[in-house]
Structures are given as C-alpha cells and as structure tokens.
Structure 1
C-alpha cells in the first residue's frame, strides 16, 4: 500500500486538509471554515465591542474544522484510514494563547470567557503596539544581539509583545496562565496528548516569532526581566516543552483524536511549521535562491540561502528555519488579499471580474493614481504595524478600476522593495514561484508582479502549496521505514516538484519595464514621506 500523508493547513478563515501519496498524487482535499471566523467585533457570548486593533479566534474551531476537513478529504480520496502514515501541520503565526497545564485554553474556563485577552490572539492582532515599541527601544539600548536576526526590529505581531500585552492589560489572565504557546504547537499538543513538560514546540515558530535561535535559545533572561519582571518569569516558568524542527516526530495520534478525525491511532505527527513556510517544501523548491511567494490574505515570501547574515528590514533569518542545512529568510506584506477584499467592499462589488478587465486595460501608473497598500501596516522592510495606507493623484475622472490598478501596482512595488532589500544585502534571488489561492483566482496580481519586477514568475499548479508542504513534513515524520524518505528535501522533490515542461510561467511585458522603473521610484518617495510623517 502506497504511504499517504495528511497535511493540515490552518489559515485565517479556515483549515484545509489534503491527502498526498509518496508519488505526489493529490488524493483528496477538504476545507472547513471556522464557525466563529475572526473574532473582531465582540466575543462569542457578546459583551462590549472589541478594540479596533483586536483579532482573536476560538480554539475549538481549530479542532472542529480540522476534523471536518479531514473526514471530507478521506471520503473524497476513497482510501482506508490506515493508509495514512503521517500528519503535518502548518499554522498562522504568531497566533498564540494562554492555557492551563493540561492544555485547556483559559478562554474556555467560565471565569475567563468574557476577558478578551484570555482568547487566542490571531497573527493580525495589533493590540501590543506600545509594548512592541518599548521592547524595541530597550533592545536597541542594550544592544541585544538577537536584533541582527530580525532586521533590527521586533515585530508587532510576535510572541513576546502579545504576552506582555496580556501581562500589562489583563494581569489576572497572565497570573492564571500556566503555559504560553503558539496555536500550531497547541494543536499538535492536542493531537499527541503528552505532558506539558514535553509538549512539542516548533523551532520554525520560535525562531521567526519568539526571538529564539539554536545557538542562543530565547532572548536573554536579563533583557526580558528588564522589559517587565513578569515577562521574564513567564518565559522561565510558563514555556515548557521541547523544541523540534518541522518534520521531526512530535509524537503519535491519540485514540481520542483519531476517532474524532476518522483516522487510525498511532500515526506519526510532525512538529508544526508556519503556514507560509510550509509552501517551500510544498512547491518542491529545495534549492537556494528561489523566492517562494505565498499569496493570500497577506503574503509571505521565503527564500533559502547557503549563508546567513544580517539584512536590515528582513524580519527573520533562521538557520534551518525553513529547510535543514540552509538559512531561511522570511519577508512579507501585511495586506494583500485583505486589501483587495477591502476595496471590493468599498466599491460595493461582489467580484473583480469586470473591474479586472478594465483595470488591466489601463496603462501602467493607473492614469496618475498611486497607492500605498499599508492598510494593515508594513511588514517588510519597515516592520511597522502603525503605518497607514493611501491613494494619491485622484481626480473626479478616476473610478474603481483606477483604484484597483493602483492597488495591484502598490502590492507589486512592495514586493520589488523586498527583492531589492535582499539583493542589496548580498542574498541571491534567482527564481520566483507563486503559490496559494490568489495566483489561481486572480492572475492579474501575478502579471502585475512580473511587470513590476521585470522577472518571470512560475505559478505552481497546486492551490494547496502550504497544505502539500505540511503533508511532506508529515511523511518525513513517519520515518524512512514507513514513508521511504530520508529527509525533507527528498520527500519534497518526490511529492511536490513539477517537471519543467509542465510548469506555468507568467512573463513580464517588456514594454512596461521602463515605465515601472520610474513609477517604482515614485512609490519609494511616497513611502518615505508617509512613513516619516506618521503620527
């Protein structure tokens, strides 16, 4: 029986389950939306409106939706459950939560159901702005060495700022918390059912979002104590577990979870990885110099290199953080699909079909309209969640198509800025691969990206890049005896790589290159003005 692996891909709105066999055949796919979605208005039981910068989730949604998606994928695949040898998990990050020592989320306890900061904070939760600024200021004053790995900046969406936010604003929650962890680690912990002292923590999540490195561990106790004594104490006493690389075996599936998911107990479960990072093995991009662009609600662009050195503005440089044996560089844009959906709502439209045709018929530069797409802040290279977006150059002659074209171009200019930062920092960027739902459902995005970059972009045929990558990691976790694969690179090549003759390429329009060079310079000027003039 050909071994099969289950990949679970947790996104912002839903979870996707995909079953892949050792030869790369996609046997079944299931998707299930979270019942509570993003909790941004009020808590599930009602109460006062949440602050505008809050974005929370319901932990039971993750289990319920993953089980539904898995059962649907199994039904579609028409395979026996015992064919599945491994489970891989990718998750949004940093999405994190406080729990008791048995893994019970505090938000599920009656005493904390009405306390917002007892709930899991979604990656896009931006409530820790003042805490992040203070952590950055103190880290720079102290000359903390970890800043070199993060472009000199701690991110607003990361682990310790969110923990500090709770310590300062909901001290009763912080006092009751016995374990702080990433949602991906919590989900894997639930699957394997071990004691808190040995719960599996992902080196990928810790390395990119929690100031951890294999050489130095977490940020120093002296620094965390200086930020806040309770932060230092929580890091020492409330972050138990063992750190594992994605693809390492976290444990095996419990009988309880197997029954809920329709699987067989004892299946190997991989340590979690960040959702976008899973796309690298998910598209078979094991070689250095390939920028894998996961385009969805936001975007994350990952690249592996044989060397690691500080690059200002790059939010994470982690040895083995994406694939073993290489340095993984993570960059990204905070609003992509989110920004397009916002414009659709603003224009009171149900789809982009007609608008896309009109927008793409406009010349580069959208007849003088320029956009800065910082509707959710700027991730790379400024790492500032407080920044705001803008449209400039508007006249009464412009319409929705001009706004959309300008927004597409702004996203492309942001990507070009990221590529420039990497190349200026001495990191080779030789190949571009796009994955995720957006390249397939909105090809105009990729065409504009290619034109702005002046580069050819490959679209991986699977819309399930991260989910496939998670399945690759699950296969590796099963071990060579059961899966036939010795490492992630071997499994990724066999399960996800596409022969050159079957690849889909989007080529840049050479007639647009000179125009976009000039427009990009204007975009950078606008970015400088808006970033320096923020309140």
Structure 2
C-alpha cells in the first residue's frame, strides 16, 4: 500500500480552551494538525446569554462551541493536508472529563432551550467546575458509612470533579433543570452521539469515562440504586431513568458518521466513529506506550498521569483503577494534579510579567530549593493523593529579598514534588513505576519543568516529540474502530506502536542532575510537612 492511498484516521482532541484535529496515516505520519478555539472559551465569570455573574467555583462551556470548533478544525486540517477525504476511515474523540451536561431525549442541550438559557446549571459543567463541594462531601460520607465496595477502585474518595456530584449539585440547586433533564451525559459521549446520530437508547457511552468518573465497572455497572437512594431519591431516579445507552470501550465502533455531521465536518458520511475516551487516557496510545510500568504524564492546564499495570490493587488516593480503562488487558491507573499550566499562568499574571522566557532562565539558575522559598501548588485543590478540591495553595519562606524567579522556581519544584508523591503512593501500593514519558504542549513550551521533574524524581524522562499526544491517541482509536480490514491493525497496542511509537535512536531523553539528589530528598520531606500543615489548617 503506497503513501498516497494508505488509510488515514481523524483524531479530535477536545481540550479546555479549544479542539484540535489531527490527520494521521497508519504509519504515523502527521498529515495536518489544526486547532480552533471555542468562541466562548471557559465560562467562569458571567453567563454569555445574560451577563449574570456566576458563583465562585463555576466553570461552564457552550456545547455549540464544540460542534463549531470541531467543524472548523477538521475542515482546515483536510485543506492543509491536501488528502482525498475518502482515505479517512475512522474518527476518534477524546474529551476533558468529567465535563457533563443535561439534555433532552433527542440530544438537545437544556441550555439551548429558551426556558433554561439563563440558568447556569443547565449549561455543561466543565471538568474544573468545583461547585459541588457539599454534594461530594455528602456522597463520600454516605459511601463510607455504608462501606460501599466501589470505593476501593477510587482510593476511598469520590472526586469533586466527577459525574454524580455534579448531577446532585443540579438536583439540589436547580431542581427545575434536573426535573426537565431527560438524559445526563458526559460531553465526550454527547459529541460522539451527535456524530453517529442515533436514538438515546443507543447512546454510545464510554467505559473509560464511566469507569473513571461515574462509579461504573464492567462487573457491577454503576453504583447501586440503594446507595444513590441513601444519598437522594432523586439521584437514584436519575441514575435509573436518565442514563440510557450502551457501554463501549475506547476503540469500539459507536457507529457510522451521520449525514448532518458529515456535512458540517466536510467528510463523507459512513466513516467509522470510535467510542469516546478521556483526553489524558488517550495520550497513552498517543505516545505509543502499550506496556505496563510507564507513567505517561499528560501536562497541560492540569496534569493527568496515567499508568498501566498487570494487576489491579486498591491504592489509597488514586483516582481510578479500571480494568481495560486505558488499554485492553491491563489495569489503568489514573492520577493527577489539578493545577499545573494554570498555576504557572496565574503566577505570571500575579507578577505582572509578559512571558516565562527570562523568568525561566533566572529560576533555573537558582539552586535547588529556591533559597528557602517553598510552594504548595494546590491553587485548584489537590487530586492525587488527597482528592480534595477545597484545600488551598501556599508559599512559605518569603523575605524582602524574594524575587519572581524564586517564586517560579518554588512553583516548579512544588509541581515536581506532587508527581513524586504520586509515584510514592503507587509504589507503596505495590504498583511498579519504571519509566516516565512526558506529553502535551507544556513539556515542549516549558522545558524547565521537565528538567526539574527529572531532578526531583531522580529519573530520566522521555519527552515524546508530538505535542498532540491525546489527539494522536484519538486517531489510533479511530483507526481501530474502522476494523482490521480497513486499517490493517488487529489491536490498539499494534496501532499505537505503528502510529505513535518513537525509534530508540530518536527519543529525546532528559537526564536528572544527580548532584541535587540529596538536596531534593530533604526538600521533598519539607514539602510533605508543609502539605500536612496546610491540610490541617
């Protein structure tokens, strides 16, 4: 098969601010990458329909933006690549999670109805929406009182950013919206639903999204009706009556692309569409990793660190352990940090600086430990291992001699200490962590962070050459959905190696500065002490 007629897959990567479309052939050639920003971005301050001020901790999006931006990015990618669209055999979708929304039975988001345009909780709640603090506490308390077995899969804690706390928040605070909702759905599943145009009864729900964010397992389904009823009878009713659909693993075909969305995207109808996956999880096949023991660090506004293992063991503080959740035949462990790129951008704004270029140079020139300045980077709460969105960040050791470079160096080190804590939690739980791969835009745009991570971990870190790890992973899943007869691949692992693997001679490896190991061992101990002190406060 020649390059001009090799099959191509489209990967659509829905991030916090934009969607990326990547076209990749079966040999891993990136034919085009195009990005389109959401017109409304993150809706965090005011509602676009009325200008009403949103409550603290709210983070919403406009579902129309997802369609418009996907169409623009896809059409631009096709034009830039110059390929015949008939070569595109599959579409894969990854999405931020848990981003979720209430809809009518035909898929119309409630926020698009005149009745609910001015009601914030009728809009999709972005992954970083933290309005469900009280509801999360209630769900955790009752789950622990009842000794619910599903808690073992989530390190003993239901996350603030997850599906059912957000649903319960709507029940409590906007009961008219909750009552009107006919379907509750993850945004990634909603978009795939639009692509294939099926009835709600056949809505393709991702086992990845449900397993990590919605208390679902292949063995027992969602959490029990009795548990939900103990929390709130209306929550139990919603779980029973308002979550139709069929469960599909990432890479399974959700159906053919329908005519309406084919026209919007500039594609032929009938192309295979894969079930959705979570953006961070998509990055694992997106960097060609198909073996256990490699921590894939997907670094962006927040970071998710994904690990495959042969065994599934309960690990306190780990946000999800799902069999086949990332790749078939392995147990996928999800961990993460709630603010990484967001925290760096916040500091830059706070210091009234325009760029990291000079700041980074001065920060890296400082010795390990930033001359006594230490940071706790919980500016958006703590995911792993505390699973607590209410904790706050801090700086300590500030003096009149402290410079912006000291604060930036301390923030970089705090982020690295957070990763080391995650690795310690996994290893102490008996889960091997042997290699590190960094993916996403942040490692390429901010190489200082990768060096500090390597120094703190005392380990080499491979930086994958593509900045589009999740999008490439989505394309891999789209290729698999097309079937072996069209793609030539029998498994996700085969497709991942062929489409995203990097030859050994071409790998970019960041090596640790071993001279700082003793210093970082002591600094990490102090970081953990600071974390305990702030957590206690």
Q: Output the TM-score relative to the length of structure 1.
A: 0.99
1:316 is aligned to 2:320:
yes
Alpha-carbon deviation of 1:72? 1.0
Partner of 2:481: 477
**Alignment partners' CA distance in 2, 1:89 and 1:405:** 36
Give runs of aligned pairs for residues 106-505 of structure 1, distance below 5 A.
106-505=110-509
**Alignment partners' CA distance in 2, 1:208 and 1:309:** 15
Partner of 1:96: 100
1:41 is aligned to 2:41:
no
Q: Where does structure 1 differ by over 4 angstroms across 4 or more consecutive aligned residues?
A: none
**Alignment partners' CA distance in 1, 2:517 and 2:18:** 38
Alpha-carbon deviation of 1:46? 2.5
Per-residue CA deviation, residues 286-332 of structure 1 (Å, 9 max, x unaligned), is 00000000000000000000100100010100000000000000000
**Alignment partners' CA distance in 1, 2:435 and 2:413:** 20
**Alignment partners' CA distance in 1, 2:173 and 2:297:** 36
Number of matched residues? 533
Per-residue CA deviation, residues 246-305 of structure 1 (Å, 9 max, x unaligned), is 000001111111111111100000000000000000001100000000000000000000
Alpha-carbon deviation of 1:47? 3.5
1:32 is aligned to 2:23:
no
**Alignment partners' CA distance in 2, 1:61 and 1:45:** 14
Alpha-carbon deviation of 1:48? 2.5
**Alignment partners' CA distance in 2, 1:51 and 1:211:** 27
**Secondary structure of the structure 1 residue equivalent to 2:177:** helix
Out of 505, 508, 511, which is 2:512 matched to? 508
**Alignment partners' CA distance in 2, 1:309 and 1:356:** 40
**Alignment partners' CA distance in 1, 2:363 and 2:436:** 24
Out of 12, 15, 21, which is 1:17 matched to? 21
Alpha-carbon deviation of 1:487? 1.1
Alpha-carbon deviation of 1:351? 0.7
**Alignment partners' CA distance in 2, 1:79 and 1:349:** 43
Partner of 1:80: 84
**Secondary structure of the structure 2 residue equivalent to 1:276:** helix
**Alignment partners' CA distance in 2, 1:401 and 1:341:** 14
**Alignment partners' CA distance in 2, 1:40 and 1:431:** 37
Alpha-carbon deviation of 1:349? 1.2
CA contact (8 A) 1:5 1:85 kept: yes
CA contact (8 A) 1:47 1:114 kept: no
**Alignment partners' CA distance in 1, 2:400 and 2:28:** 53
Q: Which blocks of at least 5 consecutive residues in structure 2 are unaligned?
A: none
**Alignment partners' CA distance in 2, 1:532 and 1:71:** 52
Choose 484-493 or 468-477, whichever is displaced more. Answer: 484-493
Q: Which blocks of at least 5 consecutive residues in structure 1 are unaligned?
A: none
**Alignment partners' CA distance in 2, 1:95 and 1:346:** 28
**Alignment partners' CA distance in 1, 2:79 and 2:408:** 40
**Alignment partners' CA distance in 1, 2:489 and 2:428:** 37
Q: Output the TM-score relative to the length of structure 2.
A: 0.99
Alpha-carbon deviation of 1:45? 1.5
Cα-Cα RMSD: 0.5
Alpha-carbon deviation of 1:122? 0.1
Alpha-carbon deviation of 1:470? 0.2
